[in-house]
Structure 1
Amino acid sequence: MTSNDIPVRCRFIVSHTCSVVLSEHMEQWLRHTQGLGDDVCYLILIILFSFIQFHSLVALSACNFNLGKLMGHLLNLLHGTVFLNKMYFNDCPKLLKRKTCSYYGKSGKFQRYNGAPLALQGSGELANHVASSINHKIYISNGGELNGIPHIRTLREFPREELFGKVVMVRFDSNILLKQECDKETQSVFNAVYTIKYLHEARAKVILVSDWNMNTPELQLESVADFLSAILQTQVVPLQGISCNKLSKMNDLEKENIHLLNNLSNIKEEVANCFEFARVLSYGVDIFVNDSFSNSHKVLASTVGVTRFCYACIAGFHFEERLSLLKNLTEASRKPYVAIIGGGNLYDKASSFQFLASRCQGFVFVGMMSFQVMHALGVSIPHNLVDHKVFNEALDVVRLCRDRNVQILYPKDFWCRHKCDPKQLQVFPSQAILDGWVPVDLGPVSLDEVGSMLTNCKKIIWIGPVKFVDSSKYTDGAFKMAKILDQLSQSNCEITVVGTMACKLLRQEKSSLSFINMIENASVVWEFLKGRKLPGVMAVDRGYPFEINWNNIYSDPAQSLVVDIGSGNGFFLLEMARRRPDLNFLGLEINEKLVLRCLDSIHQFDIKNGYFVATNATSTFRSIVSSYPGELVLASIQCPNPDFNKPEHRWRMLQRSLIEAVVDLLASNGKVFLQSDVEAVAIRMKELFLRYGKGKLDLVHGQCNGSQSEWLEENPFGIRSDWEKHVLERGAPMYRMMFSESSKGSLS
């Protein structure tokens, strides 16, 4: 068989997609397909490409595969006898466990769920040979999947000792803390109060900020300060006005007091997320704590804008607990899962049904939206109740439910009020409402059907009010619905109720034995269900979503650790791991594709003291490295953020939170190695480490008293990264420095 015998489509792909050498490999493999049809060869080629795409040419040469055996596997695959991952080498134990935020009561402790698939956040599937060796899966990021809420940094995980003496601004939720009927025993109030008290007890200088109704005389600034003082049992001092001068005096204020800024309600710059207003609002603030979950769907200066100016932005206890409830809506393991949908405005909420239909087995419509769905189903209803503008959306919902096998339950009867005599009420079947009558509440048959459908449910979400035309006075149906849910909650049914009206009814009806999750702000949930990102959540710093099993990563996890921050293609770290088997090496790199290649090299060369993690080290360094059982003896940052067209952007990675985390975790006599090919970047790194190093770091090798132009002449490790080689080969200098807690290091 000659190369000319290879099917035309296969040769076209080879010649137009591969390099010359890869073409030779492909043609060699394709010769084993003699006698197969063109379509079969084409399919084999696609499989081969999926195999090759994660391998470098060197790796291909080193693999030394038995081609006949490989083709045998491929042919077996075509006949359905083996799976693709059977081709690869071995199955190693799990390395990572996903952290979750299942919230349990007032203890503030979160259950860690160990059964989730192991994953890295990303946009593509991991190569099978990597997946089999480290048992990872990469989630595909697409708009339809909504369980991709980022894992954020929380006050619970933030080092308590780092709060001492810091100026901390808390954006609290006035809808939770400023209610006249504020009940400290409810979960929301308890967590909101606990956030502030926790910070105060940690000796932070706390500034409170929020918005509230200006039309209520009882809610003037001084009155609000007194009200909060009573709840917190700590003096809250009002600060009139918002200015840099006023906030800059926070260092002189007494730590024993908590301070309250003026109401943001009528400040237009707040709603506009004004850059200058956010800068003034956060002036002198070290840490921002967002505890106003009800504003997560808005872009405000006090929730989003201020995060640009604070070195750490984290979620409070209330925010974290509310977010965990939101995440819980995506879990569909408990079935049947039914959504009770009230309210109206189908046009605005139509996109949310994609999410609900992907998880729920049934929809129960109990509001004005039900008439549009009934119309799409062909049920005869009064013309004045039909919104023809949303007919297509209603039809899409019906088709979606049909395609997903989701049951639809709509009201079969209504309590109706006569237009001319509001006191006259009568029950009508839904398809036989007479002229002059308007529906105001669910009828008895409808409520019985709802109760029957929900009886065997294991999970329920109720979002949107049981509300019809002018039905504010008629709430009997909603009350009965609340009773049904209260009873179901006592029989192992997980229930989440969304919306102010529904939550209020549940509080009145629920017994002491029931447990129902309640989220008052429905707007946040609807935005989430539509697949939109919540600005207030996205503005908070990221955390690392996994617990790392170090015992399965390193042969000896007790060895001292070296961390390369921004490890790139991993050449430096891989060579260091080869030369120093007495140390463990960890690369933290935000580029997922580079991490995949590095993990592939770890697997191919059987490196037992090296590993790489796809993460943003700026926010996750502390949570990752603090769990390591051994000592951190070296942290390195080499040529950060290599945007070669914009070198001024290279120091964005090096923020105060990262420097403090490195300094806090560095072992006694540990080292920090920094280098860059841009002098301004190197000078900036040096200044930042000296500024935020808490006085624990000293420059070594005679750099302390020298000028800024004095750098380490040689790489102290004798191993150069690819970019370092490139810089030196073109005759350009590298600017290197070494910090240490002592005059001598253990690695030099």
Structure 2
Amino acid sequence: MVRFDSTILLGENLDLSSQSASKAIYTIKYLHECGAKVILVSGWSRKINFKLHAAQTVADILSSVLQHKVTDLRCISCNMPLKREDLQKADILLLDNLSEYKEEVANCSKFAELLSSEVDILVNDSFGQSHKILASTVGIARFCYASVAGFSFEENLHQLQKIAKTKKKPYIAIIGGGNLKNKAAALQFLESICDALVFVGQMSFQIMHAVGHIIPTNLVERDANKAALDIVQFSHDKNVLMSCPKDFWCMNQRFTKQLEVFPAHGVPDGWLPVDLGPRSLEEIYSLVTKSKRIIWFGPGKFSSSSPYTGGASKLAQMLYKQSQCECEITIVGNTACEVIKNEASSLSSFTMLENASVVWEFLKEQKLPGVMALDRAYPFSIDWSAAYHDPSQPLVVDIGSGNGLFIMGMAERRKDLNFLGLEINRKLVRRCLDSVHQSGIMNAYFIGTNATSTFCSIVSSYPGELVLVSIQCPNPDFNKPENRWSMLQRSLVEAVADLLAHKGKVFLQSDVKAVAMRMKEQFLQYGKGKLRLSHDCHSVKIDGNTWLEDNPFGIRSDWEQHVMDRGAPMYRLMLSKSTG
């Protein structure tokens, strides 16, 4: 299944030569040419193309774009999953419009399972939705054998990461739009990597107000003054230039066609700023011409605008001229991208990220749900020498390490091994790392992550051997049966089987028999024939099944100790890797 971006492939003015469109098309064609049955799914509306009526119309548009027949299937219903015989109707199929289903935005598990019917692999190629938690991008991942990024998604993520990692200097951010309070964390991140922040939109009034200029109250955001003061102070501490407009084109509120230029600190009553003035543009031009890296977030947008002043067009022309001087330029937001398309004779020197919401969330240092749902989300780069005194020692990994009692106890007992706890609860991870630091333990480390998505990325980079993996007392939510096994997926089992050293062990335990049985079945089914049950003379039979009588390590997790204290049974088993 390919979750495609309708704004790219179904837009009214589709440019097939653009990088986003060409890579989105290549994702689908590549899968088709490799012999896959391709099921396309997305949400669309007439806002992006007035021709978008029924699924049949969309299928016809996609057939023309892909140069392959696309057949629509009107079959999404919570009581009617896709059937295998439906796949015989065509090689490329289109499901109904997801925008018509509230279950999509609610990330309804039942709806996600329905979408996954007859699907082996999810290919997410809708990067513009990656900041949202949707059934078609996040919920569906737990029901598929694998979840991977399409070529368009991958390229956009790469360009997004380049924003934060570029080494080119000077680096300036030109920032339009409003809602400063919501973007404060992102703005402080930009201050940490940029040499200058140039405000050209509604946020500039808040910054000017924070530094002491008299600004009409109707231009200042409510409850954003503290955030603005923090941003101003942070720029001072980091020695980052902060520039606001020096003058504005203003519109007479009574005679809306009457325009005049006023200094930024002297806009008279009855006049409203609508665009950047000539002095403002001159200052921006001076900064732009000295820069080697620029990111532009939207045009200068104020509470009103005028078609007669052209500030955004002039700014776009500046950027195009500078792009010819080996300056890397990223354009963020639909409106800014449209302005650049209209003013630049070539787009080859620009990186275009049309969904600004995704970029702002990324710059807030938030993990994007659509990315986290992928099997190798956010590949980790870990300095193992900083994590361990001796990173060549064999490694033990505890998946779902909780408060770290097992890892800490084992690290104290076995100095010849290194211990790694993977835990999704980042507050627990911070506490565990504090405990490691305070105790002076040199062979224990914790990472806050979803191990299902990142185990392979993390452990494959470790320089020593992986000798033991433990999964202890996962917490199934029996009130939500569809989530009961989501922590243990086929991709994780296969990664463990692949990375485990010869004669390495897998230790599984739970106080819930159904969970222990499920984990056992998953490892035996998806372990690629490399894992075998390991019994010893201390094994016991409970309800007809053989389990380990005691914890073989002598170190208990907090939940295991709680279970033992109340006299309840603990279902334990050990598997061993029998092949290299």
TM-score, length basis structure 2: 0.75
Does 1:401 pair with 2:232?
yes
Secondary structure of 2:359's aligned partner? helix
Give % identity: 50
Pick aligned residue for 2:245 from 395, 410, 427: 410
Spell out, residue by residue over 1:105-154, the C-alpha distance to the aligned partner (whole angstroms, 9 max, x if none): xxxxxxxxxxxxxxxxxxxxxxxxxxxxxxxxxxxxxxxxxxxxxxxxxx
Q: 1:372–1:387: 8 Å Cα contact kept in structure 2?
A: no
Cross-structure match for 2:50: 216
**Distance in structure 2 (CA, Å) of the matches to 1:520 and 1:335:** 24
Secondary structure of 1:290's aligned partner? strand
Does 1:339 pair with 2:173?
yes
Secondary structure of 1:175's aligned partner? helix
Pick aligned residue for 1:507 from 341, 359, 367: 341
Q: 1:206–1:258: 8 Å Cα contact kept in structure 2?
A: yes
The 5 Å alignment of 1:562-711 reads 565=399, 569-570=406-407, 587-590=420-423, 592=429, 614=447, 616-627=450-461, 635-637=468-470, 639-641=472-474, 653-665=487-499, 672-676=506-510, 678-693=512-527, 699=533, 709-711=544-546
Pick aligned residue for 1:267 from 91, 98, 101: 101
Pick aligned residue for 2:280 from 439, 446, 453: 446
Secondary structure of 2:228's aligned partner? helix
Does 1:228 pair with 2:59?
no
Spell out, residue by residue over 1:504-563, the C-alpha distance to the aligned partner (whole angstroms, 9 max, x if none): 12233335596333221223334455676655445556555125769x979896x99876
Cross-structure match for 1:390: 221
Cross-structure match for 2:83: 249
Change (3 A) 1:560 1:194: farther
Cross-structure match for 1:300: 134
Q: 2:275–2:311: 8 Å Cα contact kept in structure 1?
A: yes
Output the amino acid matched with 2:11.
K
Pick aligned residue for 1:546 from 372, 381, 393: 381
**Distance in structure 2 (CA, Å) of the matches to 1:529 and 1:678:** 41
**Distance in structure 2 (CA, Å) of the matches to 1:482 and 1:297:** 27
Shift of 1:464: 2.8
Change (3 A) 1:285 1:377: same
- May I ask how many residue pairs the two structures share in their alignment? 557
Cross-structure match for 1:465: 299
**Distance in structure 1 (CA, Å) of the matches to 2:206 and 2:497:** 61
Spell out, residue by residue over 1:12-46, the C-alpha distance to the aligned partner (whole angstroms, 9 max, x if none): xxxxxxxxxxxxxxxxxxxxxxxxxxxxxxxxxxx
**Distance in structure 2 (CA, Å) of the matches to 1:300 and 1:650:** 19
Does 1:183 pair with 2:15?
yes
Change (3 A) 1:589 1:463: closer
Change (3 A) 1:707 1:507: same
Shift of 1:286: 4.4
Q: 2:104–2:136: 8 Å Cα contact kept in structure 1?
A: yes
Output the amino acid matched with 2:73.
L
**Distance in structure 1 (CA, Å) of the matches to 2:186 and 2:441:** 42
Shift of 1:219: 5.2
Shift of 1:261: 0.9
Shift of 1:711: 1.6
Answer with 228-237 or 426-435: which moved more.
Answer: 426-435
Shift of 1:463: 1.6
Answer with 690-699 or 593-602: which moved more.
Answer: 593-602
Shift of 1:210: 1.0
**Distance in structure 1 (CA, Å) of the matches to 2:73 and 2:464:** 47
**Distance in structure 1 (CA, Å) of the matches to 2:549 and 2:98:** 55
**Distance in structure 1 (CA, Å) of the matches to 2:228 and 2:28:** 44
**Distance in structure 2 (CA, Å) of the matches to 1:628 and 1:299:** 32
Does 1:482 pair with 2:316?
yes
Does 1:196 pair with 2:28?
yes
Q: 1:570–1:598: 8 Å Cα contact kept in structure 2?
A: no
**Distance in structure 1 (CA, Å) of the matches to 2:412 and 2:266:** 80
Q: 1:278–1:306: 8 Å Cα contact kept in structure 2?
A: yes
The 5 Å alignment of 1:52-451 reads 169-200=1-32, 203-214=35-46, 216-218=50-52, 220-243=54-77, 247-250=81-84, 253-254=87-88, 257-307=91-141, 309-310=143-144, 312-330=146-164, 335-344=169-178, 353-371=187-205, 373-374=207-208, 386-387=217-218, 390=221, 393=224, 397=228, 400-401=231-232, 404-405=235-236, 406-414=241-249, 416=251, 420=255, 422=257, 427-430=261-264, 439-451=273-285
Secondary structure of 1:457's aligned partner? coil
Shift of 1:175: 0.9
Change (3 A) 1:317 1:347: same
Change (3 A) 1:268 1:420: same
**Distance in structure 2 (CA, Å) of the matches to 1:460 and 1:279:** 43
**Distance in structure 2 (CA, Å) of the matches to 1:426 and 1:728:** 80
Secondary structure of 2:71's aligned partner? strand
**Bigger Cα Rg:** 1
TM-score, length basis structure 1: 0.60
Spell out, residue by residue over 1:194-224, the C-alpha distance to the aligned partner (whole angstroms, 9 max, x if none): 4434544555543221111247235532232
Shift of 1:291: 2.7
Q: 2:511–2:571: 8 Å Cα contact kept in structure 1?
A: yes
Q: 1:587–1:612: 8 Å Cα contact kept in structure 2?
A: yes
Change (3 A) 1:200 1:596: farther
**Distance in structure 2 (CA, Å) of the matches to 1:469 and 1:733:** 66
Secondary structure of 2:224's aligned partner? helix
Output the amino acid matched with 2:135.
A
Q: 1:442–1:477: 8 Å Cα contact kept in structure 2?
A: yes
Spell out, residue by residue over 1:600-630, the C-alpha distance to the aligned partner (whole angstroms, 9 max, x if none): 99976xxxxx876635543333234445688
Spell out, residue by residue over 1:274-321, the C-alpha distance to the aligned partner (whole angstroms, 9 max, x if none): 444334333454444433232234443333443454465444443343
Change (3 A) 1:454 1:545: same
Change (3 A) 1:371 1:735: closer
Q: 2:249–2:259: 8 Å Cα contact kept in structure 1?
A: no
Change (3 A) 1:739 1:418: closer
Change (3 A) 1:176 1:687: same
